[in-house]
Structure 1
Amino acid sequence: MRRLVAAVAAATMVVVGLQTPASASTPTPFGSSVHQPSGQTFNQALAAADARYGTLPILRVFYPGAPGAWTDAKLNTPGRSTVVSFKYDADVILTGSADDYLRTWFANAPRDRDIYWSYFHEPEDDIRDGAFTAAAYRAAWQRIAGLADQANNSRLFATTIWMDWTLDPKSGRNWRDYYPGAAYVDVMAWDVYGFDVTKSETMAAHNALRPGLEVARSEGKPYAVAEIGVDDHANRPAMLREIARWMRNTADARFVTYFDATGWPQYDLIGDSGSIQAWRDAVSGSLFAGPPAMTTSAGPAAPTSTSIQWSTRVDPGQATGWVSCASWLAAGGDFLEGPRRSVSGNPETVTCDRAGLAPNTAYQGRLKWWSAQTGGTLTATSNIVTQVTAAA
């Protein structure tokens, strides 16, 4: 703590970061699956995808059966995170016949990048059609999660991937039928489709009908999007930008990967230069760049006779810096500033508390921004809020 005026020795201040389930200090990575035309190797297809969107920081990879070895081109991608799904019949998993392979696979997973693994993405239709039961799926998931835990690898994240259609009341489904339990899941991801093309539907409106974000938060899990596709080609560039902003600003998504796959021309972006540029802007972060923006409001806690609290929504705008709380007696003097804390990546809410104040007295507060790009100089301040402490 740094006191600039030692007028009230009893006054104290703290700065507290209120994190949403995804780490607000880490920017949401935007990536895609890899469109691999016939005759191309995966590495050739990946190079073409990088040429379209810029270097993809995260890839969506699919295996129709057992996951490939880590030497496989689809998984041997140092410097990039991976969302990888694989499929086994749930009843086969429960026999234990895949244990040795999966135990070794998890044990050999890289530890220098994030690996979001998922057993049997989108199991809902298979369960509906009788391939195995929901109970068997949950039990298989729990068994596989236990094998993953044996690897003791903090970069492995157990990630459910279900259809967001499952959350639509018209589906008649209940997501809890597929949920193996909070102890077995690190991240809850969704495959997001079905935007209303007659309305250029926003992500906020779509999520209101299919509330993947709220379901994840209800379980205390980070929210993510493992597939997303927009088939409204005329409005797609604008929709992709709006979706990306919502994912970063509202959802603090752990990751977002666009479904840019061969065989689904309604979703892939090949030949759509406007949509390619929109997703490139999200991947590079240029879509979110700008001067740091800070909006301060009182609370959320009401003033007491000796304390006030104020909160600031901080959007670093792709910059890196530090914030500090500052408050002072509205009548002048008694200035106090809290310690600095680092802010970068996604927007986040920073809450400031000051205690040891006089009752029935007006105080003002704001947040300050110190820019790393300018050597740590003060370059921005938020608006000021005034609050009156309660009577003693």
Structure 2
Amino acid sequence: MKGSIVAALAAGVVLCGPQAPARADSPTLFGASVHQSPGQTFAAALAGTDAAYGTPPALRVFYSGAPGAWTDAKLNTPGRATIVSFKYPPKDVLAGKHDAYLRAWFASAPRDRDVFWCFYHEPENEIQDGLFTAADYKAAWRRIDGLADEARNARLSATTILMDWTLSPSSGRRWQDYYPGSSYVDVMAWDVYGFDEAKSETMAAHDASRPGLEVARSQGKPYAVAELGVRDHANRPAMLRDIAKWMRNTADARFVTYFDAYGWPEYALNGDDASVQAWRGAVTGTLFAGTPALTTSAGPAAPTSTSIEWTTLVDPAQKSGWVSCASWAVAGAGAFSEGPRRFVTGNPETITCTRGGLTPSTAYRARLKWWDAETGGTLLHTSNTVDQTTAPA
């Protein structure tokens, strides 16, 4: 790693992207809960989900009490991320009644896939109804998180799941009342409902009124949607495509799983082929496929007398490749510089390039280049160019 940094500095171009490592390594996962009809086995229901959506890489599963063993069909899904919630009375947790089971459960969790665990998703109504207090809920969460930490498993993520309704002023609630503290949380997820289907409300507009993304970022946590529900409506297929694109294009969005569970027919996609195909496009990635797009702009820093910066939003369009910075003097020769290369795949990300050692009061032109991995590293695409002039000495 140090060698590549030195080489980059020697070349006079530094390719960096503060958000890019996390985005490249952790693309947004799309998935669903499993539509399990009465009397149907989970395995059979999962086969139906796979047939409909194309083997979702993320599955949302629920336990009304203790979480099942990892051999349980709900959890025994190698190669897929699992978002799993379970419930205990908080006072029982605080009394240590479930320490032994949970300690063993976390210790035996898989280490080859991501597991997003949640103690008591959507606790708001139970707290409002007096089943337990917010203080006991948060204290129980902290105790369970301590048990999870004992496993020393980096693939386990403590994930709060609250209603996005809680973020609406109309709810009269404060999300902070249900938050155990940033030291005990890895991901902040929300159950997202209440869209205005008749007006084809966009995800951006919905988040503006119920700002789950902004709350997660305020705590320095990745954002996720554990349940997504759009009621049956002629506008639903287009809304699902909009939601999927918004999630994919949003930095720090870890996963979104559609709530396709039995018993809520207004949200279930079963029988609505257009909506099934829309969500299948998100799950399989065909919704985002196309030609890689590179859009370059000046900055973010203003030119100095010896340096310029430029940024490029890179959308891989479901492809993989390498990108590099390139710049040259608008007039004259001998001022071209390029490199280093950096591998990109998955979600869109922003690449920032810096070139130093330049001549004052001189115009320079810059862009980003793309070498396609599917064609053996062939240069296929270049971004638009931007011109900047260095400041006087």
Report the TM-score when normalising by structure 2: 0.95
How far does residue 91 in structure 1 lie from its aligned partner after superposition?
1.4
How far does residue 20 in structure 1 lie from its aligned partner after superposition?
6.7
**Does the CA-based 8 Å contact 1:56-1:80 persist in structure 2?**
yes
Please say if 1:366 is aligned against 2:384: no
**Does the CA-based 8 Å contact 2:31-2:283 persist in structure 1?**
yes
Please say if 1:197 is aligned against 2:203: no
Q: Rate the CA distance shift 1:70–1:267 in 2: closer, same or farther, 3 A.
A: same
**Does the CA-based 8 Å contact 1:306-1:355 persist in structure 2?**
yes
Match of residue 323 from structure 1: 323
How far does residue 38 in structure 1 lie from its aligned partner after superposition?
1.2
Letter of the structure 1 residue corresponding to residue 358 of structure 2: L
After superposition, the C-alpha distances for 1:23-49 in whole angstroms (9 at most, x for unaligned) are: 244332211000111121100000011
Please say if 1:177 is aligned against 2:143: no
The 5 Å alignment of 1:38-49 reads: 38-49=38-49
Letter of the structure 2 residue corresponding to residue 29 of structure 1: L
Match of residue 82 from structure 1: 82
Letter of the structure 1 residue corresponding to residue 115 of structure 2: I
CA distance in 2, matches of 1:11, 1:79: 40
Match of residue 378 from structure 2: 377
Q: Aligned-residue CA RMSD in angstroms?
A: 1.6
- Between the aligned residues of both structures, percent identity stands at 72
Q: Rate the CA distance shift 1:186–1:21 in 2: closer, same or farther, 3 A.
A: farther
Query: Which moves more between the two structures, 330-339 or 309-318?
Result: 330-339
After superposition, the C-alpha distances for 1:132-179 in whole angstroms (9 at most, x for unaligned) are: 111111111111111000000011010010000011111111111111
CA distance in 2, matches of 1:91, 1:102: 15
**Does the CA-based 8 Å contact 1:11-1:357 persist in structure 2?**
no
CA distance in 2, matches of 1:18, 1:43: 41
SS in 2 for 1:23: helix
Report the TM-score when normalising by structure 1: 0.96
After superposition, the C-alpha distances for 1:287-307 in whole angstroms (9 at most, x for unaligned) are: 000110010011111111111
Match of residue 343 from structure 1: 344
Q: Rate the CA distance shift 1:204–1:347 in 2: closer, same or farther, 3 A.
A: same
How far does residue 232 in structure 1 lie from its aligned partner after superposition?
3.9
After superposition, the C-alpha distances for 1:185-227 in whole angstroms (9 at most, x for unaligned) are: 1111110000012311010100000011111111111111100
User: Structure 1: which 5+ runs fail to align?
Assistant: 3-8
Please say if 1:146 is aligned against 2:141: no
Please say if 1:165 is aligned against 2:165: yes
The runs of at least 4 consecutive aligned structure 1 residues that moved more than 6 Å come to none
SS in 1 for 2:104: helix
SS in 1 for 2:249: helix
Query: Which moves more between the two structures, 15-24 or 373-382?
Result: 15-24
SS in 2 for 1:254: strand
**Does the CA-based 8 Å contact 2:326-2:339 persist in structure 1?**
yes
**Does the CA-based 8 Å contact 2:361-2:391 persist in structure 1?**
yes
User: Structure 2: which 5+ runs fail to align?
Assistant: none
Letter of the structure 2 residue corresponding to residue 170 of structure 1: S
**Does the CA-based 8 Å contact 2:20-2:351 persist in structure 1?**
no
Letter of the structure 1 residue corresponding to residue 382 of structure 2: T
Letter of the structure 2 residue corresponding to residue 172 of structure 1: G
CA distance in 1, matches of 2:259, 2:252: 20
Match of residue 279 from structure 1: 279
CA distance in 1, matches of 2:240, 2:207: 15
SS in 2 for 1:373: helix
Letter of the structure 2 residue corresponding to residue 12 of structure 1: G
The 5 Å alignment of 1:87-102 reads: 87-102=87-102
Aligned residues: 386
CA distance in 2, matches of 1:20, 1:190: 24
CA distance in 1, matches of 2:26, 2:287: 16
Match of residue 244 from structure 1: 244
How far does residue 10 in structure 1 lie from its aligned partner after superposition?
8.3
CA distance in 2, matches of 1:22, 1:57: 18
Match of residue 36 from structure 2: 36
Could you say which structure has the greater relative contact order, defined with CA pairs below 8 angstroms and 6 or more residues apart?
1
How far does residue 347 in structure 1 lie from its aligned partner after superposition?
0.2
CA distance in 2, matches of 1:11, 1:102: 53
CA distance in 1, matches of 2:341, 2:74: 42
**Does the CA-based 8 Å contact 2:61-2:85 persist in structure 1?**
yes
**Does the CA-based 8 Å contact 1:20-1:252 persist in structure 2?**
no
Match of residue 354 from structure 1: 355
CA distance in 2, matches of 1:115, 1:356: 47
Query: Which moves more between the two structures, 119-128 or 16-25?
Result: 16-25
Letter of the structure 1 residue corresponding to residue 168 of structure 2: D
CA distance in 2, matches of 1:332, 1:272: 62
Match of residue 391 from structure 1: 392
SS in 2 for 1:109: coil
Letter of the structure 1 residue corresponding to residue 105 of structure 2: W
